[in-house]
A and B are shown apart, each in its own frame.
Chain A
Amino acid sequence: MAERIDVKKTYKLFINGAFPRSESGRTYEIKNAKGLFIANPCLASRKDLKDAVVAARLAQPGWSMSTAYNKGQILYRLAEMLEARRTQFVEEIFMTTGVSRVKAEKEVNDSVDRLVWYAGWSDKLASLSGSLNPVAGPYYNFTVPESMGVIAAIAAEMPSLLGLIDTIAPIIVGGNTVVVLASTQSPLCAMSFAEVIATSDVPAGVINILTGKKDEIAPWMASHMDVDGMDISGLGKKSHGGLRIAGAENLKRIYSFQSGGPERILAFLEHKSVWHPIGL
């Protein structure tokens, strides 16, 4: 019997809940630590970014209006789906980064746990970061957190899966939608994570994932007038200044984080104060 031929996966982009190839038709080659060919992921162009932002903008009001309970459930669902496919992710991290299987396994475990952790924040944000403000009159004054809108992000190069989740989860848990550029050298688990997203009841357009070159995409994210905030944690310090200048045109909130945590959620929330008469 003839030897079976492997069926290799085509790694594509994830935009608006679908898996298109890059509009430009471009791909790039990734190799493992020993220099052997692994795959040809898409090399996203600025037009792919544009399409992703359009999708994210359309999805934003609906996602933002969904209940905190529902958002938390969906994030938890992501964790469930990721848990079920652990071996695949371990293999992809092992293959692209050269870390040991044990380390890769730990990264996947951490990723699942991190998703659960962020999911838990969903229905606690309003009470923890909002407030009932003291006033000198017969009315209430509340401060409540609201989503900022469409957030662009550059995920950390390494660890590629945990870094991606630390980028995406805090942005969406507050009701934002996100367009994220995954790790350039190890994008495989990002695109496999897109398959997890596609089967987790995340509405189309809430999470959009591109693969490609950071230097090419980041400036277009920063200058895009329909992007409200940007996470540039995945970029070297040298490029930060230029991106902050490019983002100034629409007063984009641009942040860089050292680690995961609640400050990543709070950074992309806007706090709004409203008054309400007593007794009504």
Chain B
Amino acid sequence: MSFYGLVDGSDASLRKYLQALPAVDQVGADARAGMLATRSIKTTSKRWAIDTAISMVDLTTLEGADSPGKVAALCSKAVRPDPTDSSVPSVGAVCVYNDMVAIARAHLDSIGGSHVGLAAVSTAFPSGRASMGVKLQDTRDALDAGASEIDMVIDRGAFLSGDLIGVFNEIVAIRDLCGTRAHLKVIFETGELVTYDNVRKASFLAMAAGADFIKTSTGKIAPAATAPVVLIMLEAVRDFYQMSQRRIGVKPAGGIRNTKDAIKQLVLVNETAGPEWLTPSLFRIGASALLNDLLMQRMKLDDGYYASPQYVTID
């Protein structure tokens, strides 16, 4: 694999590539993200934003208490988020643990939901603390069960202790395993990466290693998808496009719970990476509670009065 000609797979070339990255202006990133969060999106733009955001949701359930019934219900909701309104688009994907992939696959196919992606969290999610063999087998299981997207976690311990090539090689190995069968999303868990510089470094590392998407967090740790972190990742995909002519997707996950948060994310995308990224194939939002709020806001726009959570499904 050529790694876009940016690195040759050696530790030295990877270090050289990452060291060439400029440092993040922390104050500037916070200020810019804060400024973009004040944009007011109303009426027809809001309507468009809500439908776009629904189509970008990776509807997620990653609980120890997940049951086949819950996963099936989630799949139904993903295909037809509002059973009373067929004009609501399907979400981008369903995101589950890998032992639930087969159940989700069967259910999605049986209800005509093959167009909805099926993402499996992989490589010993959420900690990433397992041997490489286990991580590969984890991914293989999910692929064999019919996952169309793999959300892998990086080994944050290795990253923070400077073993960048180790992290790189892991991503490459999982990338090779996915081949053409599945898209690869790489989760950084930015809440554990400590600095914005590390977020930028991890972004460029993962993109060079062949990630299709870079994803902020597992959703298990706070802070998760904060606006400045998403901003830095969006800048990274924009700059990487200049270097490689390939558009990499971004997926913020965790902490995006209401329509306002989601629309702020869309503003960030539009103003940072550009409107080309405002599509479910390049931007996803990992969430569970968010979808209900989007549906309620949509009802409010249609009906002219405020909606109640009693009129949307619980899960």
Contacts and interface: CB of A to CB of B under 8 A. Distances in A.
A53 interface: yes
A225 B304 contact: no
A53 B309 contact: no
B248 to A, nearest CB: 36
Contact of B307 (A220, A226, A246): A226
B304 A57 contact: no
B48 interface: no
B306 A226 contact: yes
A226 B310 contact: yes
B305 A53 contact: no
Nearest to A219: B305
Residue from B304, B306, B307, B309 having most chain A Cβ neighbours under 10 A: B306
Contacts of B26: none
User: What class of interface size applies to chain B in its complex with A?
Assistant: under 10
Interface residues of A, number: 12
Binding site secondary structure of chain A: helix
A214 interface: no
A226 B305 contact: no
A100 interface: no
A249 B307 CA distance: 11
A224 interface: yes
Nearest to B258: A54
Contacts of B309: 57, 226
Nearest to B309: A226
Contacts of A57: 309
Interface string B297-312: 0000000111111110
B295 to A, nearest CB: 13
A250 B308 contact: yes
A97 interface: no
B310 A224 contact: no
A223 B304 contact: yes
Contacts of A50: 306
B305 A220 contact: yes
Interface string A245-266: 0100110000000000000000
Contacts of A226: 306-310
A277 to B, nearest CB: 31
Interface string B49-72: 000000000000000000000000
A46 B309 CA distance: 18
A249 B306 contact: no
A53 B309 CA distance: 11
Contacts of A46: 306
A50 B300 CA distance: 11
22 contacts: A46-B306, A50-B306, A53-B306, A57-B309, A220-B305, A220-B306, A223-B304, A223-B305, A223-B306, A224-B305, A224-B308, A225-B306, A225-B308, A225-B310, A225-B311, A226-B307, A226-B308, A226-B309, A226-B310, A246-B305, A249-B305, A250-B308
The 6 closest A-B pairs by CB, nearest first: A223-B305, A226-B308, A225-B308, A224-B306, A225-B307, A50-B306
Given A46-B306, A226-B309, A250-B308, 12 more contacts: A53-B306, A57-B309, A220-B305, A223-B304, A224-B306, A225-B307, A225-B308, A226-B306, A226-B307, A226-B308, A246-B305, A249-B305
